[in-house]
Amino acid sequence: MSEICLTGLVGSHPLGALAAFGLLRCCQEMDDFRGSRLGWRRVPHWFAVLETDRPATPESLITALTARQKQR
């Protein structure tokens, strides 16, 4: 299992939480991230953590999101 810490998506702020939920929805449309789960970690504020069953890095997430947007 891989974890990508999304420290820019602060869960205690409504827009950060909504952005994290939107990212999870986008992950369902990308083969390498389908089935991902969203969690939260508190250090010192709540931030999103994306969990995948496949090996993943922040760079691979950005690459997949970029490719997804080009197809839209």
Residue 38, helix vs strand vs coil? strand
pTM of the model: 0.87
Give residue 71's pLDDT band: very low, low, confident or very high (50, 70, 90). Answer: confident
Q: How far apart are CA 44 and CA 7, in angstroms?
A: 11
Per-residue pLDDT tens digits for 3-31: 999 999 998 899 999 999 999 999 999 99
Per-residue pLDDT tens digits for 17-69: 999 999 999 999 999 999 999 999 998 889 999 999 999 999 999 999 999 99
- Can you read off the two tokens belonging to residue 1? 């299992």
Task: For residue 34, give the nearest of 8, 56, 6 by alpha carbon.
Answer: 56
